[in-house]
Structure 1
Amino acid sequence: MIATMIFAAGLGTRMRPLTNERPKAMVAVAGRPLIDHALDQVAGPGPTVINTHHFADCLHTYLAGRNITLVHESPMLLETGGGLRNALPHLGDGPVLTMNADACWTGPRARDSLLKAWDPSRMDGLLLMVPRDRAIGPSRASFAIGPDGRLTRDASGLIYTGAGIVRTEGLSAFGDDVFSLRDLWLAMMNRGRLFGVEHPGHWADVGTPDGIAAAEAMLAGAA
C-alpha cells in the first residue's frame, strides 16, 4: 500500500484575507473545504498524513475522527521537501503519493492516474501534469514529457498539478531542514529517473480568492 502526504501547512498569503482566520486548506470551494477536494483525489488504503502550521487547530477539529495523521510544523515551515522528510516516521519507507491542498479537479482521480503509470523499476518520481489549455489559474508551465515519459525542464510545456509519487530515499541527501521537493525532482531528473503522466481532465489552481470562482465554474461545467 502506498502512503499519502498532503501539504497543508502553508501560510496562504496569496489567499488573504480569507486566510486571516483559517488555513488555506479550509477555504471553501463549491461548498467544501479544499482539504476535502484533495482527499477526494488521493485518499486510499495506506497511511494518510497531512502537515499543519497556520491555524492548525482548524484542521485538527475538522478532521477529527478520520483515519488521518496530522504532523504539526513548528516553529518554522519546512517547505515541501522538508515537510515530507519530517513526516517520514508516519509514512514508512516506500514511495509516497504527494498532493498540494490548493487545487480542484475534473476527470479521473489523481491517485488512479498516478498508480496506473507508476513503474518503480524505471522511476524514482512521477509527476501528474496538465496542458495549459486544460489548466485554470496563473500556474506556470515547467516541464515537458518526452517520448519515453521522462520529464525535462521546459517553460513552454506542461503544468505540474501538485500531485505526484516520489521515492523518499533521496531526501537524506539534503542537509538543510527547509527545502523544496523541486530539489529532489531535479536530482531525479539528472539521473533520468523523473517521469510524467498527463491528467486527462481539467485542473484549477486555487491559490487566490479570484481562483475560487474560476474553480467553481469549472466544477459546475463538469456536473
Structure 2
Amino acid sequence: MIFAAGLGTRMAPLTDRCPKPLIPVAGRTLLDRALDMGRQAGASRIVVNTHYLGAQIADHLAGSQVAISDEPDLLDTGGGLRKALPLLGPESPSGPVMTLNPDVVWTGPNPLAALQAAWRDDMDALLALVPLDRARARVGAGDFSLDARGRISRKGDFVYAGAQIIRPQLLANIPDRAFSLNRLWDLMIARGSAFGMVHSGGWCDVGRPEAIAEAETLLTEAHA
C-alpha cells in the first residue's frame, strides 16, 4: 500500500493545486517512483489511498491496474490501511503487507526487497530505518533505537524511512476510525515484536519544497 492521502501542507505552495505524490523529482513523480519500487519488489497488488485532490491521482493511475482506496474523510495511516485491506487481497487481514510513503527518495538497494529478505515469522512489523546523520532534509529528532536483536523502542538516533512490512491483525484492537500507525507500532513494541532494518543506501525526506533540490542531488550522486 502507498499512502497518498495527505494534505501536503508542508509542501505548499507546490501543493496548492497539485497533490504531493504527483510532484516531480528529477523528472519523475514521487508516486511513480514509489510504484516502481513496489513493482520491482514483486508486489502483485498495489493500493494507493487518496483524499486531497484525489481525482488528479485517479487520473494519473487510470489504466494502471493500481487499486484506489478513496477517503472522503482523512483516516491517517492506521485507519487508511484498515480501509484498504479488502483491496489488498483475501490474505491481507492477517498479512503481512508492505506499506510505503511516497514522499521519500531512496538510493541503493530497493528497501521493500530488503525488508522481504529480512522478514521472519516472529515479527509483527519490520521497519526500514536510516541513521539520523544520514537522513537528508530530515527536520527534528530521531524516532527509534535498536537493541542487539534488532527490536525497536521509542526515541533514539534512527529515523523511520517510510517503508515497512506489517501484520494488520492488531488493527482490531484499535476502535478509532482515524488513527496513526504509531498506535499499532506501540502495541507491537510492547509485545517485543516490532523490529527495524537499517537501509544501507541514501535517503531524503521530500516533505518541503527546498528538499526537492536535495533529493535531486542525492540521485545525481548515486549515478555519478
Q: For the superposition of Structure 1 and Structure 2, which TM-score range results when normalised by the shorter chain?
A: over 0.9
The secondary structure found in structure 1 opposite 2:44 is coil
Asked if residue 87 in structure 1 is aligned to residue 77 in structure 2, the reply is no
Cα contact 1:104–1:203 (8 A) shared by 2: yes
Paired residue for 1:123? 123
- Give the superposition deviation at 1:39: 1.6
Paired residue for 2:192? 192
Paired residue for 2:68? 70
Aligned length: 216
Instruction: Structure 1: give runs of 5+ residues left out of the alignment.
Output: none
Q: Distance in 1 between matches of 2:70 and 2:120?
A: 32
The secondary structure found in structure 1 opposite 2:210 is helix
| Residue type at the aligned position of 1:117 | A
- Give the superposition deviation at 1:63: 1.1
Paired residue for 2:171? 171
**Shift >3 Å, 4+ stretches:** none
- Give the superposition deviation at 1:100: 0.7
- Give the superposition deviation at 1:135: 1.4
Stretch deviating more after TM superposition (38-47 or 126-135): 38-47
Paired residue for 1:51? 49
The two structures have a TM-score, normalised by structure 2, of 0.94
Cα contact 1:12–1:24 (8 A) shared by 2: yes
Q: Deviations over 1:130-177 (max 9, x none)?
A: 11232101243111111111111123x211101101100000111110
- Please, which of 19, 27, 30 is the counterpart of residue 26 of structure 2? 30
Matched residues, percent identical?
Answer: 47
- Give the superposition deviation at 1:7: 0.2
Q: Distance in 1 between matches of 2:82 and 2:30?
A: 23
Instruction: Structure 2: give runs of 5+ residues left out of the alignment.
Output: none
Aligned-residue Cα RMSD (Å) equals 1.0
Q: Deviations over 1:84-117 (max 9, x none)?
A: 0011111133211011110000000011110011
| Residue type at the aligned position of 2:147 | G
- Give the superposition deviation at 1:78: 0.2
Stretch deviating more after TM superposition (33-42 or 192-201): 33-42
Q: Distance in 1 between matches of 2:43 and 2:101?
A: 19
| Residue type at the aligned position of 1:116 | A
Q: Distance in 2 between matches of 1:57 and 1:147?
A: 46
